[in-house]
Each structure stands twice: as C-alpha cells, then as structure tokens.
Amino acid sequence: MSSDVVRELPRLIIEHVTPELDAGRYPAKRVLGDVVRVQADVIKDGHDLISGRILFRAAGEAAWKDSPLSYDYDNDRWSSEFRVDRLGTWEYTVEAWPDPFGSWVSDLKKRLQAGQDVRAELLQGHAILKQILKHRPADSSSSVAALVTSLADPSAHLEERLAVAFSDELWSLTQGPAAPDELVRYPRVLELLVEREAACFSTWYELFPRSQSKEPGRHGRFSDVEDRIPELAALGFDVIYLPPIHPIGQTHRKGRNNAFVAQPGDLGSPWAIGSAEGGHSAVHPELGSLADFDQLVKTANDFGVEIALDFALQCSPDHPWCREHPDWFFVRPDGTIRYAENPPKKYEDIIPINFWCADAESLWKACLDTLRFWIAHGVKIFRVDNPHTKPFAFWEWILSELRKDHDDLIFLAEAFTRPKRMKALAKLGFSQSYTYFTWKNSSWELNEYLTELTKTEMVEYFRPNFFTNTPDILHEFLQSGGRPAFRIRLLLAATLAPSYGIYSGFELCENRAVAPGSEEYLNSEKYEIRQRNWNQFGNIKPDIARLNRIRRENPALQRLDNLTFLSTEYDKVLAYHRALPNNHIIVAVNLDPNRMHECMIHMPLEAMGLREDQMYELEDLLTGIRYAWRGRRNYVRLDPSDKVGHVFRLLRGR
C-alpha cells in the first residue's frame, strides 16, 4: 500500500446521523423558526479527543455556516443545533477531525493535578502547535508565533508557560483540523424541507358550499360561505376546506344516498368533476363566478382564515379532457373509456386518469397548470383526494415544481391506505396526512398509535391531521355515544395533534348512519344539499371555541414531538403530558361516553421540575377551576354527562 493511499484513508468514522431519511433520499421536515438538532456517532481509535461541527445553509447559499458539535457521554452521541429562518430547502452535513491540541491540553491538566513535572509535555505541545501552524494563514500564524515560542522557552517561568498553554489565543488558533487530510466529512449532504407554521399547527373546518344557503331549497353560493366566515373564525378555525367546487357531470350522475340512478333535480357528487361548463379550472355556475371565489378568498384572509381546495384528479365522463384527450384515460378494447371500479363497487360517474399514458408529459403538465391556476387565485392549501392511487413519481415531481416558485404551499394527503404508502407520500413532499385516528378509540390503541407518530422516525416527516369525521367516515363510536362521544373525540383531536379538523355537522353531533354497520351518513351531503340550524340545542360550539383558544394560547399543544403518556389506574381514563419550557399541559380524558369513571393518574413530577413532597397548583383551562395537588398520584373523576376531561396547565409549585 502506498503512503498516498494511507494519507487518504479517514482518520475517524461518522455514522448514524439524524435526522436522515432513507440514506438521504428524502428531506426531513421542519417549520419556520424551528431549532434543528443534528446528532451523529463520531468514532476514533485510542483516547485522543475529537472535535467537529455541523455545516448548514439555505438552498442557493454558496457559503456554509457552522456550529460546533458537543459530546454527550451518557448516550455517546455528538450533537449541535441551528435555527431555520427561511422557507424552502436547507442542506446540512457533519464534519469531524482528531484534536491533538485538545488531547494534549486535557492530558496536561491531568498531569498537573497529579503533581507531575510537565516541562517535557510543554515541549510536546510546542511541537503540536508548530505542526498546526503550517496549515494556518500566514497572518494568523505570525500573530501567535511569540506565544508558541514561549511555550518551549526553558528560561521562562513554568507558570508563564502554563498560562500560554491554557490561553484563549492558542485555543482559538487550534480550532479546526490540524491538517487538511485529517478532516472527515459525512459522505452525504442531507436536506430539510422548511414550511410555514400552518403546515404543522392548523385547525380545519370542512364544508360543502352548496349547503350554506339560509333559504330552504336554494343552492348555496360562495357569498353564503362568506357569511359563515366570521363565526368560523370566532370558533378558532384558520382553514376552511371546500370539497370540489367544479362543474358536476350529468352522465351516470349518482342520486341521493349514493343511489345508482339519479332522480330529476339530484345534484350529483362534487367529486364527479367536469361538464360542458368546464373542468378542474372552472367553478360550478350555481356557486358563483371566479370573481365571487376571489372575493371569498379575500374575505377569509381578512379574518385570518385560508381557503383550502380539494384537488381531485378524476373526471366525470362529461369532462372536457374526455373529449379533447381520450388517450389520457384507460381505453377498453371496444374503444370505450373505463370508469372507476373497486369490485364489486362501480363508480360510473367517475373516470380514472391513466398517468402513464403515451402522452403522460402533456397530462402531467395539465395537472400542474391546474394547480398554478388556483394558486394564482389565492389558494395556498390543497387537500389532495386519494393521492395513493396516483403515481408517487407524479407527486414528487409536481410538488417539487410548485415549490420552486411557491415555498408557502401546504398539501394534505387524503390517503386512507396501507401504512407504508401513507409514509411514502409524506416523505416525498406532502405537508400533512389524514390518519387512522378516527378508528383509534381505546386507551391502548391511542397510546400505541401516538407513540408511533411521535417517538419514532415518523416524527421527522409525517405530520398527522386528526380529522374527527369526514363526509365518508362516521365512526360507530360517534353513532352510538351521543353528545358525550363528540365532546370526547373533539378533546382528543384538539390536544393530541397540532393539526386537527372537523367536517360540518360534527358541532351539531350528527350521528345517523345510512344503515347499521355503515360509516356513511344518512342523507349524505355528498349527494344532496343539507341545510342546518347551526345554533340548534345540544351543539358543542362552546367546546370547540374554548379548545381552539387553549390551543392558540399554549405552545405545548402546537408541536408533535413533546407528547408523553402517563400511567392511570384505570384504562378508561387516558392521560398525557404535553410540555415546552414554562408550558406544561396535562390532559385527562374519559374514553367512555356512557359512564362516569374515577381513578388516580400519575403525574410526571421530574419532567415538571417538581419534588415528590411538593405542593403545586394546576388550572383546568376548560373550566377555570384551580386545584392544589401534591405528589405523584392524584385523583380525577370524569362524568361524560358533564365533564369528559381536564386540560390542566401547571401554574406553579409551592
């Protein structure tokens, strides 16, 4: 082996860098203002010390910034942090090197403490410094040359030489690798996707515009949605999500309650997109005009609310694309276009798109242009319908293209599918995702699922949006649990996840299914207009407003990575701790909508900075009542007819 080969071999090992997804294939995610903690294993033979740093920069910046690594003996890991202050892509990596001067200083201190004669060691330090100076700029070398010389001067007092050895000037000089070939850089430059705060913390309300009219029998308009914005903003919602607002096809139109054949006057499903009046870039004429939509967006923004649109890539048989580009669809041998099927179910009012057709390039560009059209009309949030049924390569391309010019877009994946598909969509660029929360109702299910979301690698890229219900999902828990069930699920959604949403009617505790064993609503809004009295008796709007205010006022409820489940002495009561410095939230929820339960919960005293014998004061943010507790075990009594849970905030210890 030649000496050149030996010099090129690394002096140490850098591995297990976090965050890192799939060997750097995908970016981890953060939001603007986050502090990013980077960790790594840095390993070297022998007892010499190691130094290192992280390098980081926003995409497009030529120069790297750096932050020194520090060592944690307990977990044998190196770490450092940096703050992201720009939207878009960031890059980071890790560098490390042997630290001969630091090793020498550490050894010198030990010898002095042992009372040894260290004059020979001072000569060794002088030799190390001379070697380092060879690789430093001339001006910096000359400024410390006298110091280096005095270190080896036998005529100088020992105390003077030691003062030089421990001086800040020498410490500053020796930062960085002693020689260029001693520097080791992690072989991958990793990426972060930095999005705005709403990508992590947001509160969604889903409504059908056509159901917003106050006049019985009249089709709702955008102006009717405008009329509801002040109330929804006051309730604490910052995103209003609209199902497709486009023209609806006539061919094979569905009737009420998903009837296979429509009757005269039936409106059809908004997801059967496209008619002679236009496709994905048009609005249903009964909703109003594009100018009316623009006014809706402006009014919403004036109240601090954003309008989110459904991006559903499927077509009615009447969609202009079917006529202009029949090759974009799946064509049967008999020349007809194939409609959507999920055997034995048939959806003849919807035609799926063939994203790998011969003219895929034009098709993909048309989809991109559609999104750009709505972005130009002020939409920055999109809920994407069934993204797992379209190519992942398509989504990665289209999201990347859009973020080149718009780094403030947010995409919610409606992907109720297998876990690995959901994770893949999140990795390749979706900001948020629907989840399995709707079907998690027991203590062990919630604990297991939230632990996966918050304590595994998923926390780096998967942002859950806990919708309590959707137009397709009315869970049996809500069907049978009455008003308490709605209050329980609201409390869980609002305090377990930074982003959550409700579909309209939830606040009225609507719980009638189309048939036993079904999760479909009776008289579903997907197929007809539903007009409601939003202030009817028994509504839970006060709960919603109070919880959304609590969420806004407590930063601990605005993050995903700070959840810890607490021990309770009965499994029908779920308790958990959400914490940031100076903001400790304890939530206790009765998971049974039919019975009162009481039990002891075990408080996380160490995490709250409290002693075992210490009194402390909590305020229930739901009621304003204050409690004085002591020690770890404390009593709660939760009656679903009145109080389904507590949201405690630690006020102070006594």
Catalytic residue ranges: 385, 414
Q: Which amino acid is at 272?
A: A
DSSP string, 352-407: -B-TTSTTHHHHHHHHHHHHHHHHHTT--EEEEESGGGS-HHHHHHHHHHHHTT-T
Strands 28-31 vs 645-653: parallel, antiparallel or unpaired: unpaired
DSSP bridge pairs for 652? 617
Structure token digits, residue 351: 């035609």
> What are the phi and psi torsion angles at 12 (to 5°)?
-155, 180
- The kind and range of the H/E element at 125 are helix 119-133
In angstroms, the CA 18 to CA 28 distance is 9
For residues 292 and 223, the answer to whether their CB atoms sit within 8 Å is yes
Residue for token pair 């750097």: 24
- Cβ-Cβ contacts under 8 Å for 631 (sequence gap 6 or more): 603, 605, 612, 613, 614
What dihedral do alpha carbons 362, 341, 315, 466 form, nearest 10°?
A: -100
Angstrom distances, CA of residue 114 to CA of 158, 304, 353, 547: 16, 67, 78, 62
- Cβ-Cβ contacts under 8 Å for 350 (sequence gap 6 or more): 269, 271, 272, 314, 315, 316, 339, 340
**Nearest-CA neighbor of 565 among 579, 552, 582?**
579
The count of C-alpha atoms lying within 13 angstroms of the C-alpha of 466, restricted to the half-sphere facing its C-beta, is 22
Angle between helices 158-165 and 138-151 (to 10 degrees): 150
